[in-house]
Amino acid sequence: MKIWDSHMHSRFSGDSEADPVEMILKAQRIGLPGITFTDHLDWDFQEEPGLFDLDIPKYNEEIHQLMDKYNSQDFNINYGIELGLQTHLANRHHLLLLENNFDYVIGSLHVIDGMDPYYPAYFEGKDPTSAYNHAYECMLENIVAFNEFDSLGHLDYVFRYGPAKELGIDSYDKYKNIVDEILHYIIAHDIALEINTGAFRKGLKEPNPNIQIIKQYKNMGGKLITIGADAHSPEYVGEKFDEMEKLLTDIGFKSYQVFKSRTPIDIPFN
């Protein structure tokens, strides 16, 4: 079966030049049942101010025009957003969601102490273990400060960067306690865990979060999962989804979720 891609970017995001129509056509070409646009909004992105200030009125208008044009019996488009969490933005995010009718909201940590670990500065002068541990601590602090999102994006994102790949640092082994606290929190608050295949393009051999973490989420009673390729260009839409279906069903998930009007819809794997 083909899986709905619940995480993708277009030229409304500061780091993508993709025409949203091209994303749609690619998804249709490979037979996906639907996609959710989740363009970036990272307010107060200090390293490149304004880069991820999403133009919401324009985004809203254009995506809804595309929905009118392309939605059919076999293919649908949902309107989502990827919110970059920072604790001081909690109230602004709360108001944003009151004022906008997104189908789906991903909460993602891209900025730690004002720095995106995508840039090397975050790791400078820190030993790797504490740099990664600190990222998880910030994630927990952020989701406690603001939990009004539907799915937690790429939980171990920070391991895409820094020395983890080179040194073979696992994103769960040394960090079990803090990762379990994060998982416990999202399960208790009915927040889904996102399975993000963008990790493979960054040279990781497993999705974000890694397989151990996905298994642990299941063991702890987690039931809600969303799946996204985090494509910033059409070629990556739906990337590695066949592998993910096998992985997730092997772990014991019988279905995955797609959010419409902020409500999870259960889609069985079969």
Which stretches of the chain bind Zn ion, using CB under 5 A? 82, 108, 230
CB within 8 A of 80, min separation 6: which ones?
6, 36, 37, 38, 102, 103, 104, 105, 106, 259
Q: In the bound complex, what is the minimum distance in angstroms from residue 84's beta carbon to Zn ion?
A: 7
Q: What are the backbone angles phi and psi of residue 253, rounded to the nearest 5°?
A: -75, 130
Q: Which is nearer to Zn ion, 1 or 51 (CB)?
A: 51
Q: In the bound complex, what is the minimum distance in angstroms from residue 108's beta carbon to Zn ion?
A: 4
Residue 144 in contact with residue 136, Cβ under 8 Å? no
Residue 86 in contact with residue 110, Cβ under 8 Å? no
How large is the angle between the packed helices 176-188 and 211-219, nearest 10 degrees? 50
Q: Which is nearer to Zn ion, 83 or 248 (CB)?
A: 83
| Residue positions counted in the chain | 270
Q: In the bound complex, what is the minimum distance in angstroms from residue 161's beta carbon to Zn ion?
A: 12
Q: In the bound complex, what is the minimum distance in angstroms from residue 82's beta carbon to Zn ion?
A: 5
Q: Which is nearer to Zn ion, 40 or 177 (CB)?
A: 40
Q: How many CA atoms lie within 13 A of 254 on its CB side?
A: 1
Rounded Cα distance between 119 and 161, Å, is 8
Q: If DSSP codes are grouped into helix, strand and coil, which group holds residue 216? A: helix
Rounded Cα distance between 1 and 31, Å, is 9
Q: In the bound complex, what is the minimum distance in angstroms from residue 216's beta carbon to Zn ion?
A: 21
Q: Which is nearer to Zn ion, 230 or 245 (CB)?
A: 230
Q: In the bound complex, what is the minimum distance in angstroms from residue 228's beta carbon to Zn ion?
A: 8
Q: In the bound complex, what is the minimum distance in angstroms from residue 124's beta carbon to Zn ion?
A: 22
User: Encoding tokens for residue 199?
Assistant: 């990790």
Q: Which is nearer to Zn ion, 55 or 127 (CB)?
A: 55
Q: Which is nearer to Zn ion, 9 or 175 (CB)?
A: 9
Q: Which is nearer to Zn ion, 5 or 230 (CB)?
A: 230
The helix (H) or strand (E) run that includes residue 66 is helix 56-70
Residue at shortest CB range from Zn ion? 108
